Structure 1
Amino acid sequence: MSSAVLRPCARCVLSSMRRAWRPRKYCVSHTWVVQAAGAVSRMAAPVQLIGEGDYVVLKREDVFKAVQVQRRKKVIFEKQWIYLDNAIGKNYGTMFEITGGGNLQMKSNIVASAEPKEAGADNRNIVDDGKSQKLTREDIEALKEKGIKGQEIVQQLIENSTTFRDKTEFAQEKYIKKKKKKYEANITILKPSTRILAVMYYAREPGKICQLRYDTLAQMLTLGNIHAGSKVLVMETCAGLVLGSVMERMGGYGSVIQMYSGGGPVRAATDCFGFPKSFYETLYEFPLNKLEALISGTGSYSSRVIPAEEEPEKMDEESSRSDNEKQKATQDLVGDCLAESTESMETSLAESEEGVKRCEEVSENHKGGQNVDKKQVAMEKKQKQDERRKREAEAAKLLQDRNADGLIVASRFHPTPLLLTLLEFVAPSRPFVVYCQYKEPLLECYTKLRERGGVINLKLSETWLRNYQVLPDRSHPKLVMSSGGGYILHGITVTRDTTKTNTSCSERTEEPAPKKQKVAEDKS
């Protein structure tokens, strides 16, 4: 079977003379190969299910929230607390209904009836006096206590409304949508992606991402030419959203070097993507305060791991605090044992001696366990420090090559010093993108880059976005829209011609200044 499959037919051999050989539909053996390849590809990419420990995004109408799936963990979403236990093992994109006790139940797909609805021509005869609804608040609460679902409550509200049939068809749909939003507790569980997380952060906490809108982020990834197998420098203070977007587009291939300020990088949004461990193996980090030493060559970075025998003499405050707590627990335990021994002394001297010995053994064992815990905590801390030093040394080695394929800056700091420093590590003919919430810092950065040279195709742009409502006979732009999505400065690096600038400067300095000549007056 395999030999027949691998041997091409005569028509395929003739077609290979004109262009690259490809299996054709009329070749039985090659058709079998194509079908088998399709079957293998379908088997290799199974449907992803929600698992315990995965990061997911809860969606209700236009509200999003990123959470981690854990059993019997209470999650508060839209003023309701729920448990995600029943979502484990289900497909992404499934809609659930919140039942009693905060449990989730898969919502059944109910097909709307195609019967024509009775509707009025206009709303001129409708008077909003608050008496059109026969059901009171107490009646609705009683329906909820009986366990009636939100869809049935909405249906009863429609039946008990005296003005519903007089409304126009559009007004009826708007009324039903409003009541469903109020009484139906439905959520959809989505798989995290760049667009979903960008929309979520922009709607919930725009200050944490420097007012970065999702369309602006998409332009940054496109202008930065982010693709698999490249080496990208990222400097951002957007809670890790830009970093996660770059990692998602690269797909775990290549290398990403994150520049950070302070004690360590912030990756709250990056963790919400739920990347596998292999993605983080391509992620490196390097502090900004060590860039000058790296550029000048004065900094020494070594990937040597400190052996475990070299234990630190001083512990940090957390370990000392835990030691004090353990020592206090030991004293309490010894005190209890001594109290028991004093009581036993009243009965007999022999029993008291045994009690004291037992207490001493307990205290010694507890102290021994305390020392073991100290050493274990110190060893774990030391291993993390060694791993961090090793990764920092690897990042320094990647930076020293100065052949990065791209640079993305989206920071709350002034972009000019950051960009001028980080451009030293970018190879020629590579793109760079700088985002800022305001235009004035980018204008200054634009001027400095023109004076410095080494860049071409400098452009400063502003993105503009408008959302549209697309419905039958009522499509129009939405009344509420974003006022601005920030500004982007992008360009391409080139090799700087330092000799030309030096010679031009020397020529200007050596050229003597023209002398002023007095014009003779005409006496005639």
Structure 2
Amino acid sequence: KEIVQQLIENSTTFRDKTEFAQDKYIKKKKKKYEAVITIVKPSTRILSTMYYAREPGKINHLRYDTLAQMLTLGNVRAGNKMIVMETCAGLVLGAVMERMGGYGSIIQMYPGGGPVRAATSCFGFPKLFFDNLHEFPLSKVDSLLSGTFSTETLPSEPEDNALVEEESNGLTDEKQASLQEAEEESTTEAAMEINQTEEQETMDINVEDVEFKENKEKENKENVREKQRKQWERRKKLIEAAALLKEKNADGLIVASKFHPTSLLLSLLEFVAPSRPFVVYCQYKEPLLDCYTKLRERGGVINLKLSETWLRNFQVLPDRSHPKLTMSGGGGYLLSGITVVLDKGKSDSGHSEELKMEEPSSKRCKVQDLHC
């Protein structure tokens, strides 16, 4: 403040300026010389605005108004059972968790070796929110739909205990071998008639080596047990997520991925209950157009909409309200719809009957005569 005040006093043109110009001059100097830090509680709007301004590529250029529309079109609310597939650093997942407030269940579908939740950790959710969060790999979706899903690749709890016992037995054998070697060394040293001082020094060194080996063995045991405990927890969570997906009664589906959405959506829609909404986000409209066409051919969905949001910021000040000259080029595209039950047999028969009724009577008679 003292620096800004001194600049105002030393300025020769400050008094000649208008009131608006003076305010603008003071704000400009304060912004340059004053460091103001405001600590705020993290929220979806703050984090999405920050990511979009600094690292938009990490969230697939997902703008905060588009994210708000996704939450609305997906009917995200407390008590729902949602399926989320996103590659936006966990921003969409965090927004869904914030909207649900810890009530209900969320199944995160992830590609690769594990889910990415960098933005989710920035929300500061309590442990209760993560108790209802499940994860399932995309690589096992086909096996789950075909009924061949199994968790044999991951070790079970008794096998882990057996591994711990085997490794501990191996470690004890190594320990006994090391002790025997130490004893043999001590006997050979005694036989060589070395001085008492030298014998004492060698014994001290041997004792230190044995203690070092014991400490290392303990650390190895703890690391093995911790690794196996994590593997068991991962297997347990995978079984729970698979059980939730097998029920095929999810209340909504949200997809915001860098991958082509058609194959993802067609496979994940199998886990969504009828009369439930789904939303797909993509930075470009061409993949969504392809997905729109495939869904119309497949059926089982209604109220399909492909939309684009347009956002422009406004400056709102007394006598100076106007739209800002700079704005974002685009916030991506959304494909939304509602699932319905599709009976293929009835639909085909009904379609053939409609065609027969549309044919004129003269044409029907000719067709019947030809068949006779």
Contact in 1 for aligned 2:42/2:123 (Cα 8 Å): yes
**For the residues of structure 2 that align with 1:294 and 1:501, how far apart are their CA atoms?**
28
* Match of residue 362 from structure 2: none
**Pairing 1:74-473 to 2, within 5 Å after superposition:** 151-301=1-151, 305-307=156-158, 308-311=160-163, 349-473=195-319
- Is contact 1:301–1:396 with CA below 8 Å preserved after alignment? no
Say whether the 8 Å CA contact 1:437–1:486 is kept in structure 2.
Answer: yes
Show the counterpart of 2:359. Answer: none
SS at match of 1:165: coil
Question: 2: distance between equivalents of 1:506 and 1:287?
Answer: 42
RMSD: 2.7
Distance 1:314 1:181, change over 3 A: farther
Give the counterpart of 2:324 among 478, 484, 497: 478
Higher RCO (Cα < 8 Å, 6 or more apart)? 2
| Deviation by residue 1:69-91 (Cα, 9 ceiling, x = unmatched) | xxxxxxxxxxxxxxxxxxxxxxx
Amino acid of the structure 1 residue aligned with 2:231: Q
For 1:367 and 1:410, locate their aligned partners in 2 and report how far apart those are by CA, in whole Å: 51
- In the other structure, the counterpart of 1:326 is none
- Contact 2:80/2:105 (8 A) holds in 1: yes
**Alpha-carbon distance between aligned partners in 2 of 1:310 and 1:391, rounded to the nearest angstrom:** 22
Aligned equivalents of 1:395, 1:410: Cα separation in 2? 20
2:56·2:62 contact (CA, 8 Å) conserved in 1?
A: yes
**Distance of 1:219 and 1:280 partners within structure 2:** 24
Q: Secondary structure at the match of 1:309?
A: helix
Q: Could you tell me how far apart the structure 2 residues matched to 1:475 and 1:502 are? A: 59
Secondary structure of 1:456's aligned partner: strand
Superposed CA deviations along residues 339-382 of structure 1, whole A, max 9, x for unmatched, are xxxxxxxxx81111011111111101110110110110011011
> 1:174 offset after TM fit, Å?
1.2
Structure 2 portions without partners, runs of 5+: 168-181, 183-193, 355-365, 368-372
What is aligned with 1:491?
A: 337
Q: C-alpha distance in 2, partners of 1:406/1:360? A: 66
The count of residues paired between Structure 1 and Structure 2 equals 335
Residues of 1 paired with 2:162 and 2:55: CA distance?
45
- 217-226 or 348-357, which deviates more: 348-357
Q: TM-score, normalised by structure 2?
A: 0.85
Alignment of 1:27-42 (within 5 A): none
**How far apart in 2 are the matches of 1:505 and 1:295?**
29
In structure 2, the residue matched to 1:104 is none
Contact kept, 8 Å, 2:164 with 2:221, in 1: the verdict is: no
Q: Percent identity?
A: 69
Amino acid at match of 1:309: N
Bigger helix share:
2
Partner amino acid, structure 1, of 2:53 = A
TM, length-normalised to structure 1: 0.61
Following superposition, the deviation at residue 472 of structure 1 comes to: 1.0
Distance 2:224 2:336 in 1: 47
SS at 2:219 equivalent = helix
Q: Is this contact kept in 2: 1:221–1:246, CA < 8 A?
A: yes
| Distance in 2, Cα, partners of 1:356 & 1:504 | 95
Rounded Cα–Cα distance in structure 2 between residues aligned with 1:200 and 1:456:
35
Give unpaired runs (5+ residues) of structure 1: 1-150, 316-333, 335-347, 509-513, 516-524
Amino acid of the structure 2 residue aligned with 1:240: G
Counterpart code for 1:386: W
Given that residues 286 and 395 in structure 1 are in contact (C-alpha distance below 8 angstroms), is that contact kept between their aligned partners in structure 2? yes
